[in-house]
Amino acid sequence: MGLFSSHTNLLFVYPIAIFIMAGIVSYFSIPVVITIAKSKNLVDVPDQDRKRHQKIIPTLGGIAIYASIVISLSLFSEVHAVKSLTFLSGALAILFFIGLKDDILVISPLKKLLGQLSAVFLVVISGLHISNLGGVFGVNNISLWVGVPLTFFAFIVIINAYNLIDGIDGLAGLIGVVASSAFGMFFLLNKEYALALLSFSLVGALTGFLIHNFSPATIFMGDTGSMIVGFLLAYQTIKFVELNVTHSVHSYLSHAAPILVVAILIVPLYDTLRVFIIRAIDGRSPFDAGFEHIHHQFLEMGLSHRGIALTLAALNVGFIALILLFPKANVNLLLAGLIATTLIVFPTKGMKRWIIFKLFHKKYEKVKLYKNIQQLEVDFQHDDQSIDKTQRKNKAHKEAYENVG
């Protein structure tokens, strides 16, 4: 027997216990990681290009996140089929060593991708794959030949999208807390206790980490952390969608489930898609470095790291709540509404300003013309030059009309 046994009347207590356990391990292990990282010079050095933090900061926070998840799940190994997560443990181990090597020595993007695909392969052979799209674009059941590649694609997109939002203090950790908390609550509602424990172990690990990572940060999660967290979010996403297919998801949520997962991951997904589109339009590789991310846009608006992280986390919660308000709506209408709301709320690189200008520029130009003429009248009233004022006024009016035409 493990430390805990799976008594049904205690199953709702376990998520709280594992959250606390993971949080404690994460919180107290990070100072040790910081000390070792600084002594071995395993730090991120600021520069004038992409790394704009003010001091050297260790990037090995992923070690604490991984350790806290593994330790807390091990302590609850006897609880309601947590042993079923064996293949997931192997996948996390692969990502841990790939990420750690990248944080310390730096590896090529191809090797990193191969490591991610290997981790996905482990969970796919355990039986996890997308088998139904829930009516999105009119598609329901899909064959294994489509579902398996789609599963690989979904994992890779979510892992790397999450990595891309790890650009300012506290943002990635806070978005991870919101997303995994949402998944955990839904799993708990449907008595998927092993998945709920996984979700809340991640929430606890990230909470302990955030105490040290919230602005001003003393440690970053690095690629080790971002790949592990992104992978776990992808795993929960596909598990949630598949639960919808088997009708074990709470009836209130089942119809909205495919769009609900998009709302839960809206920040990293929108940010990645937006960046790829902008760079494609500019004729650049979508994998180039740059400052087109959502958090960069908010930084230009004058918001602090802390303010941006809290704002985007609050918006993320808002998007989840929005979908939950319309659980029985047509799934494609929900998707269209989610996309429209996202474009309205998040930065779009001037697209909203362009649309507003096209809609209202004629009225704007008329107002501008009226103000120009008024200013001309004022100028001529104070003009003492001997040139014929009527001629000069007519000429100026003509130029004003031409300028706004």
pLDDT for 13-54, tens place per residue?
Answer: 888 999 999 999 999 999 999 999 988 888 877 665 555 556
Residues 136-148 have a mean pLDDT of 91
b/e map 103-142, b = 16+ CB within 10 Å: bbeebeeeebeebbeebbbbbbeeebbbbbbbebeeeeee
pLDDT-wise least confident of 118-132, 349-363, 376-390: 376-390
- At 189, is the pLDDT very low, low, confident or very high (cuts 50, 70, 90)? confident
b/e map 70-87, b = 16+ CB within 10 Å: bbbbebbeebbebeebeb
Percent over 90 (pLDDT), the chain: 48
What does the alpha-carbon distance between residue 341 and residue 236 come to, in Å, rounded to a whole number? Answer: 24
Res 10: pLDDT: 58
What does the alpha-carbon distance between residue 131 and residue 164 come to, in Å, rounded to a whole number? Answer: 28
- Of the two residues 74 and 207, the one the predictor is more confident about is 207
Res 193: pLDDT: 85
Among 313, 298, 227, which Cα is nearest to 265's?
313
- At 399, is the pLDDT very low, low, confident or very high (cuts 50, 70, 90)? low
Do residues 119 and 94 touch, judged by C-beta distance below 8 A? yes
35-108-265 Cα angle (round to 5): 75
Phi then psi dihedrals of residue 38, to 5 deg: -70, -35
Longest distance between any two alpha carbons in the chain, whole Å:
105
Is residue 317 pLDDT above 90, yes or no? Answer: yes
- At 152, is the pLDDT very low, low, confident or very high (cuts 50, 70, 90)? very high
- At 70, is the pLDDT very low, low, confident or very high (cuts 50, 70, 90)? very high
Is residue 5 pLDDT above 50, yes or no? Answer: no
Do residues 347 and 298 touch, judged by C-beta distance below 8 A? yes
Phi then psi dihedrals of residue 58, to 5 deg: -60, 150
Instruction: Tell me the pTM.
Output: 0.84
Percent over 70 (pLDDT), the chain: 76
Residues 100-113 have a mean pLDDT of 91
- Strands (E) in 21-62, as ranges, are 43-44, 57-58
Res 78: pLDDT: 64
Residues 235-261 have a mean pLDDT of 79
Question: What pairing do the DSSP bridges indicate for beta strands 43-44 and 57-58?
Answer: antiparallel
Residue 388 has which token pair? 């014929």
Torsion on CA atoms 161, 68, 119, 155, rounded to nearest 10 = -30
Residue 231 has which token pair? 């992978």
- The alpha carbon of 360 is separated from its chain's Cα centroid by a whole number of angstroms, namely 34
What does the alpha-carbon distance between residue 178 and residue 116 come to, in Å, rounded to a whole number? Answer: 23
